[in-house]
Amino acid sequence: MSPSFLSAYKDRPVEAHTTHTSKFLKLNPVSGLWPASGFGQDVIIGVLDTGIWPESASFKDDGLSEIPKRWKGICKTGTKFNSSLCNRKLIGANYFNKGLLASDPKMKISMNSARDTDGHGTHVASIAAGNFAKGASYFGYAPGTARGMAPRARIAVYKFSFQEGTFTSDLIAAMDQAVADGVDILTVSYGWTNIPLYEDSIAIASFGAMMKGVLVSASAGNGGPEMGTLTNGVPWIFTVASGSTDRSFSGTLTLGNGLKITAFSLYPLRTTIKDFSLVNNGSLTTCDSSDDLAQIPNASRSIMMCYSTAQEDLSVSDQMGAISESKVGGAIYVYGDPDVLTDNFFPNPGVVISSKEWKTVTQYADKSAKPKVSISFQETHIDVKPAPVVSAFSARGPSLSYLQVAKPDIMAPGVLILAAWPSNVSAATVDISTGLDSDYNLVSGTSMAAPHIAGIAAMLKGVHPDWSPSAIRSAMMTTANPLDNTGKPIKTTDYLVTMDATSLAMGAGLVDPNRAVDPGLIYDATPQDYVNLLCSMNLTEKQFKTIARSSAKHNCSNPSNDINYPSFIALFDPNGDYTWLEQKFRRTVTNVGPGAAKYKVKVRAPKNSTISISPQTLVFEKKNQKMDYTLTIRYRGIADDQAQSGSITWVEKKGHHTVRSPIVVAPALDAWT
């Protein structure tokens, strides 16, 4: 056995998890993070995904200087990919599939190169750091100039996911190589649930990246809204949830009586439905049988009303399939699942409306002898309120990997994000079987949220090159906004029930890039602090070395499970005796403001809890000075209680800094332990 061998575990497949978002996040060329960082000039973002479509306008190197001399990576040739496709924007391209090939030595990989044949990697890369690309749109929706979060940052692509499969060993190899090549930030939109920490390749590889000073932004997963579904929830990963923006896409439904309804639609073709017959036909209203629908008189000039609820085993996409196969002219759908409003699958003319609007349309159809409707498409609306709203699909904490840290960390835009797409991969489908190509696509998922954070983190690294991954994460978390654009707490709609989002859904809130440049105070942590955390986890020596990635003996003289984190979580037994319990945390904050400063604490306690802070005032005499405080949560578990959120905020006296940390108290369900 090789002396460098540490441990082995079963290789396994991995599951995958723009134009307007920069404006929504208030990035602008005059002030704040964009000009401070030179739009991310010379910072290198590593993208671990399905590869890249290098011909996209988003990856042109217009306006970029020479490649940074510190870059050590390569542009590896392969199938339909040669080194000349790299440039001053796309500075590296590599691919890793030894694990995939080992799973089946006879396998023939169809695209054995860094070229993207899926679209996911191209989309993610352009969200993080796509260059300015004029004339972008998705079949007329979301028109404008596309750009990534850090449009002047460099991109290095590491393809580890192929059409033939995706394996953990290839992911680890890709991330290790990215760190060795000299990337500053990594983004990965893959993950697992319910596997041991010491078998989680992203957690293992990310620990090595953190030890080398590289921040890893990773998607929280799309398993929401159930609690405890979150992936990538270890403390050394920046875990990103998904929320909506203030932009929507629609068609206008006009009833025969003149009433107009603006409703969700992403039908990709430029067409107008004019005075079609509106059909509301009893049992056919479920639209689950294409054969029955085809019997409708004058079907091609008819718009069917299709109803389903969240409780019925019939999705809107199933109904769209039946409508397309039946050759009915189109349909009006009512949604029972909010995720319908995040999907670009729209193969036939139609709109999606709410149950309230459904009643209005039904009343018109029932009272009219010959009900008619017209529909127009390709409409884009800005300033939608409220926004953001936590995506129903966005996975929720707490993290099964490590329950002592609240996850996710932060929320970023992840709903119908416009970004680059391979020109030979269908971006839309009409009539079920006909694919339409586009250079840009609208896609939803926490996969889209993570590269937003990676791009912002890259720019912060450019402004503050001495900041650690923990410092960058802290700056973004403590300046995140927990309020929507109406000034009220951010909401989430889970199974059509709207409620205030807890930090187990949205983390600290929506990222605010410009405030993160100057956070006032940061919660920093060293590599040794994370080693101390590993030492406290009751791991076997083999498991410890698997994660720590070194056969050298680490210093475990000071184990601690209370990492210096900018959030707090306390879990209670919902079957307990309802007595008051107590949990104490110790934190250290570093003054990164311009000089002397005084901060006073402001507390908002979660329901059924009390919070005490000592001291309640922090006085800093100079920049980079550190000060400690303790926070004690006294809480009482109630059997039917759900997660409850609160916060502490350090408010600078006679200054402009506010440093907010979320607090969550939640039941420790048996399924989480």
% pLDDT > 70, the chain: 93
pLDDT tops 50 at residue 5: no
Question: Given this model, what pLDDT does residue 284 score?
Answer: 64
Mean pLDDT is lowest, of 6-20, 52-66, 544-558, for: 6-20
How far apart CA 650 and CA 278 sit, in angstroms, is 58
Which amino acid appears at position 142 of this protein? A
- Return the active site residues: 49, 120, 447
Q: Which tokens hold the place of 668?
A: 């420790």
Is residue 49 within 8 A of residue 121, CB to CB? The reply is: yes
pLDDT tens sequence across 156-176: 999 999 999 999 899 999 999
Label residue 439 by pLDDT band (50, 70, 90).
very high
pLDDT tens sequence across 456-469: 999 999 999 999 99
Three-class SS state of 211: helix
CA 545 remoteness from chain centre:
30
Three-class SS state of 210: helix
Question: Given this model, what pLDDT does residue 98 score?
Answer: 95
User: Can you spell out the DSSP letters for 589-657?
Assistant: EEE-SSS-EEEEEEEEPPTTEEEEEESSEEEESSTT-EEEEEEEEEEE--TT---EEEEEEEEETTSS-
Residue of 543, 525, 521 lying closest to 534 (CA atoms): 543
Q: Which tokens hold the place of 42?
A: 């010379």
Question: Given this model, what pLDDT does residue 6 score?
Answer: 43
User: Can you spell out the DSSP letters for 562-591?
Assistant: ----S-EEEEE-TTS---EEEEEEEEEEEE
> For residues 369-392, b (16+ Cβ closer than 10 Å) or e, as one string?
eebbbbbbbbebeeeeebbbbbbb
Question: Given this model, what pLDDT does residue 3 score?
Answer: 45
Q: At what angle do helices 446-463 and 120-129 cross, to 10 degrees?
A: 30
Over residues 643-661, the mean pLDDT reads 95
Q: Which tokens hold the place of 424?
A: 């030979």
CA 516 remoteness from chain centre:
18
Label residue 55 by pLDDT band (50, 70, 90).
very high
**Cβ of 525: how many Cβ atoms within 10 Å?**
24
Question: Given this model, what pLDDT does residue 643 score?
Answer: 87
Question: Given this model, what pLDDT does residue 673 score?
Answer: 45
CA 540 remoteness from chain centre:
33
Label residue 639 by pLDDT band (50, 70, 90).
low
Label residue 496 by pLDDT band (50, 70, 90).
confident
CA 596 remoteness from chain centre:
37
Mean pLDDT is lowest, of 64-78, 217-231, 247-261, 275-289, for: 275-289
Sequence-distant (6+) residues with CB within 8 A of 461 are 43, 184, 185, 215, 467, 472
% pLDDT > 90, the chain: 73
pLDDT tens sequence across 69-94: 999 999 999 999 999 999 999 999 99
pLDDT tops 90 at residue 281: no
Mean pLDDT is lowest, of 115-124, 176-185, 546-555, 601-610, for: 546-555
Question: Given this model, what pLDDT does residue 609 score?
Answer: 92
Q: Which comes out higher in pLDDT, residue 619 or 431?
A: 619
Place of tokens 């929280």: 220
Is residue 653 within 8 A of residue 604, CB to CB? The reply is: no
Question: Given this model, what pLDDT does residue 7 score?
Answer: 46
Label residue 9 by pLDDT band (50, 70, 90).
very low
Over residues 190-200, the mean pLDDT reads 83
Over residues 246-261, the mean pLDDT reads 95
Over residues 31-35, the mean pLDDT reads 94
pLDDT tops 80 at residue 500: yes
Over residues 138-145, the mean pLDDT reads 94
pLDDT tops 90 at residue 415: yes
pLDDT tens sequence across 207-240: 999 999 999 999 999 999 998 999 999 999 999 9
Is residue 171 within 8 A of residue 18, CB to CB? The reply is: no
Mean pLDDT is lowest, of 98-102, 113-117, 163-167, 193-197, for: 193-197
Label residue 315 by pLDDT band (50, 70, 90).
confident
Q: What is the mean pLDDT of the chain?
A: 91
How far apart CA 241 and CA 553 sit, in angstroms, is 36
How far apart CA 422 and CA 75 sit, in angstroms, is 19
Label residue 290 by pLDDT band (50, 70, 90).
confident
Over residues 115-132, the mean pLDDT reads 97
Is residue 157 within 8 A of residue 136, CB to CB? The reply is: no
Three-class SS state of 125: helix
Question: Given this model, what pLDDT does residue 17 score?
Answer: 44
Q: Which comes out higher in pLDDT, residue 258 or 498?
A: 258
Question: Given this model, what pLDDT does residue 662 score?
Answer: 98
pLDDT tens sequence across 364-396: 998 999 999 999 999 999 999 999 999 999 999
Over residues 658-671, the mean pLDDT reads 85
Mean pLDDT is lowest, of 170-174, 191-195, 229-233, 562-566, for: 191-195
Three-class SS state of 464: coil
Question: Given this model, what pLDDT does residue 272 score?
Answer: 82
pTM over cut 0.85: yes
pLDDT tops 50 at residue 530: yes
pLDDT tops 60 at residue 182: yes
pLDDT tops 70 at residue 426: yes
